[in-house]
Amino acid sequence: MTTWFTAADCDLDEFRAVCEQKTEPSDYPHAIDVVDDVLIFPADLENTKTVQAELVRALTDGPGIVVFAGAFDPAVVDRASAVFDDLIAVQRAAGVTGGDHFAKPGANDRVWGALDKFALRDPAAFAAYYDNETLALICEAWLGTGYQVTSQVNVVNPGGVAQVAHRDYHLGFMSREQALRYPAHIHALSPMLTLQGAVAHVDMPLDTGPTLYLPHSQKYPPGYIAFHQPEFTAYFNERRVQLPLAKGDAAFFNPAVFHGAGTNHSADVRRMANLLQISSAFGRAMETVDRAAMLRALYPVLRHFPGNVENVIAASAEGYAFPTNLDRHQPIGGMAPPTQAAVVRQALAEKWDAARFERALEEQGA
């Protein structure tokens, strides 16, 4: 059993063997079609353990991607789109240029933290939108109960270019060097903590650049290392598939599937999708901790500490960037914003006084 992955574990021939498996329709009796190895399901599936088990098989042992045709009522989608357009207009009027995980800031329109913004702006439209049995079915199947929904609206404007192939949150938002620090069993666990989804808010023919996928790629164990390597990117570009979506269709996928948004070649279609990231209820600590208060007390000690400062930082500071407010704490220059621990390291390295450190802590917390 591999305990730690290395870059040398990434073998393109092994990856090809995994990704060139075929999706067998007979394995998924509730699916109504298979398109480019992606399973298409109807929106009116009954929420039973049998159906849930089939969806879990599809996301783990199957292609890793399922599409529900007509999952959302187009009229309900239009009502939500109007709210999202209003939020984008407010951002533009304020001169806000949103950062992006994988695109140049300002190239597209992003609404970070769209879940609560939507609810506060139009709670009736929010309730109509999220009263969705298909969403509940796939979330319960993959994550069980108590799941936590987040949402980011992404509008890829005409000319918006494709993303580089990647995996998603958690380990997919790390550099290769960061991911290598996690043992192999955490690489296997990471996809089970999150479900990725996208609801089409406009019709998305291929020229608008709907998401590119590499079916079955979630089954490659060192994939969180491999997607950073150019030969795997080249293979993705050679083999990826792309499915057109109609307004109201919803795609859900294992976050370990290699994927990326496509280039919008259309002349006038603003490709709007509501990107849903649903997290396991278990992704939380048992106790609340006032880490900022701890660090204010510790900082004078750490400035002259004779032992291993990193050990103390690890025990006291927040070493993970998420969850955060991505409007105020943007992923510019990387896939994740700076952590609280990074602020402490910078302060110590640059010999900040206590007042400057406390101001930086407050700004980071805000």
Predicted TM-score (pTM) of the model is: 0.87
HSE-up of residue 220 (Cα within 13 Å, Cβ side): 27
> Which whole number is the average pLDDT over 218-240?
98
Are 165 and 269 in a shared domain? yes
pLDDT of residue 141: 97
The answer to whether residue 205 sits within a structural domain is yes
- Which of 25, 18, 16 is CA-nearest to residue 57? 25
Q: Write the pLDDT tens digit of every residue in 194-206.
A: 999 999 999 999 9
Are 228 and 325 in a shared domain? no
Between strands 148-156 and 271-279, the pairing is: antiparallel
Q: Choose between 296 and 319: higher pLDDT.
A: 296
Residue 200, both tokens:
């089409």
DSSP 342: H
pLDDT of residue 101: 46
Domain boundary among 279, 303, 329: 279
SS3 109: strand
Are 156 and 60 in a shared domain? yes
pLDDT at residue 33 greater than cutoff 50: yes
Q: How far apart are CA 147 and CA 149, in angstroms?
A: 7
Domain boundary among 247, 279, 311: 279
Are 118 and 201 in a shared domain? yes
First to last CA, the chain: 43
pLDDT of residue 104: 61
pLDDT of residue 327: 78
The answer to whether residue 1 sits within a structural domain is no
pLDDT at residue 302 greater than cutoff 90: yes
The burial class, CB within 10 Å (0-12 / 13-18 / 19+), for 60 is middle
Preceding amide of 170 cis, omega within 30: yes
Q: How many domains does the chain have?
A: 2
Burial 61-89 (b: 16+ CB within 10 A, else e): ebbbbbbbbebbebebbebbbebbbebbe
Are 186 and 305 in a shared domain? no
Q: Write the pLDDT tens digit of every residue in 40-58.
A: 999 999 999 999 999 999 9
Are 188 and 257 in a shared domain? yes
Q: How far apart are CA 141 and CA 177, in angstroms?
A: 32
The answer to whether residue 99 sits within a structural domain is yes
Q: How far apart are CA 68 and CA 66, in angstroms?
A: 7
For residue 35, the surrounding DSSP H or E stretch is: strand 33-35
Q: Indicate the average pLDDT of the chain.
A: 92
CATH number, domain with residue 41 = 2.60.120.620
Give the range of the structural domain holding residue 314, as residue numbers without chain letter. Answer: 291-365
Are 270 and 305 in a shared domain? no
Task: Count CB atoms within 10 A of the CB of residue 239.
Answer: 14
DSSP 230: H
Q: Write the pLDDT tens digit of every residue in 55-94.
A: 999 999 999 999 999 999 999 999 999 999 999 999 999 8
Q: Write the pLDDT tens digit of every residue in 254-286.
A: 999 999 999 999 999 999 999 999 999 898 777
- Which of 166, 329, 315 is CA-nearest to residue 236? 166
Are 207 and 342 in a shared domain? no
Residue 255, both tokens:
């976050």
pLDDT at residue 100 greater than cutoff 60: no
Residue 208, both tokens:
């608008």
HSE-up of residue 122 (Cα within 13 Å, Cβ side): 17
